Amino acid sequence: MATKSIWKSKNLIIYDDRYPSILSSLWKDCPLLAWYNDPSIGTYLFEDFNNYHAATLAGYTATQATSGTFTLGDEEYGTAVLNAGASTQHKGINVQKNGLMVKPAAGKTIWFECRFKAANPTKLQGFIGLASTDTTLMPSGVMDSSNSEYIGAGSPTTAAGVAKLYGCKAKTEGTVNSIFTFGTSYITFAMKIDGISNVYYSVDNVVGSNTLGTSYIPTNALTPSFICQSDGVSQPTLTIDYYRVFQLR
């Protein structure tokens, strides 16, 4: 074990040689070290569901589509669990962090990352990402492009847990198909929203070859948002280990 440093994209990275994944991560040029010394650089949220406020999940709005719960999990290091609460199609839970946290803008890069897993993943209607305030973000198993703006990964109805990268701006939705499949083992999904130019994504630190362009990047303020609904037959759950979000000021 040794702590090392390296410059990447004009950004100093400190890392442990046993865990070099940051070197290929979309977060490699996020100025976290500089932010610790000068918080005026950006705004940062890291949620691992093991702090005092997580005890009651204060700070989140959980809205049922007839059924569903949002509770702390019992795994080590802290988790939160979205449970659809039913095996009936389109029933489940919509969770959003209170307060609009970030807003895409030119020169104001946003980084997002979440580690998660699912139970009964082939029957999951799910979403993980950033969205405008909307307590019915996935009505009838389809993203609400008529009333919301969003960027993230989601598995709509009949997709059998296969996720798309979504972006929606002013009712115009774009997607990148088949970026990963929700499963019972943990997956780490990340995005880098480069101002209002492009959305890049990675899965387990492997950067995807496709992007979403400016036509699909929201102009409204967004907040961390998560959905777990059933696509029928089985009752899925979505377990979140942690998520984090950073935006340059």
Chain mean pLDDT for the chain:
93
CB 181 within 8 A of CB 188: no
Contact 140, 157 (CB under 8 A): yes
Q: Does residue 41 register a pLDDT over 90?
A: yes
Rounded Cα–Cα distance for residues 76 and 217 (Å): 36
pLDDT band at 101 (very low <50, low <70, confident <90, very high): very high
CA 55 to chain centre: 21
pLDDT at 9 over 70: no
Q: Which range is least confidently modeled, 50-59, 69-78, 90-99, 110-119?
A: 50-59
| Cβ contact 138:164 at 8 Å | no
Q: What percent of the chain has pLDDT over 90?
A: 84
- For the chain, list the domains and their CATH numbers: 1-30 (no CATH), 33-248 (2.60.120.200)
Q: Phi-psi category of 61—alpha, beta or left, where left has phi over 0 and alpha has psi -120 to 50?
A: beta
pLDDT, tens only, 125-180:
999 999 999 999 999 999 999 999 999 999 999 999 999 999 999 999 999 999 99
Q: How far is CA 8 from CA 68, 110, 181, in A?
A: 43, 17, 30
- Rounded to whole angstroms, what are the CA distances from 168 to 53, 172, 236, 248? 31, 5, 26, 21
103, 132 in Cβ contact below 8 A? no
pLDDT band of residue 51 (cuts 50, 70, 90) is confident
- Burial pattern 137-163, b for ≥16 Cβ within 10 A else e, equals bbeebebbbeebbbbbbbbbbebebbb
pLDDT at residue 12 is higher than 70: yes
pLDDT of 52 over the 90 cut: no
In contact, 239 and 49? CB cutoff 8 Å: no
Residue 53's pLDDT is: 67
User: In this predicted model, what pLDDT tens digit does every residue of 186-220 receive, in sequence order?
Assistant: 999 999 999 999 999 999 999 999 999 999 999 99
Is a pLDDT exceeding 80 seen at residue 7?
no
What is the H or E stretch that residue 47 is in? Answer: strand 42-47
Query: Distance of CA 87 to CAs 63, 127, 237, Å?
Result: 17, 18, 11
Q: Say if residue 23's pLDDT is above 80.
A: no
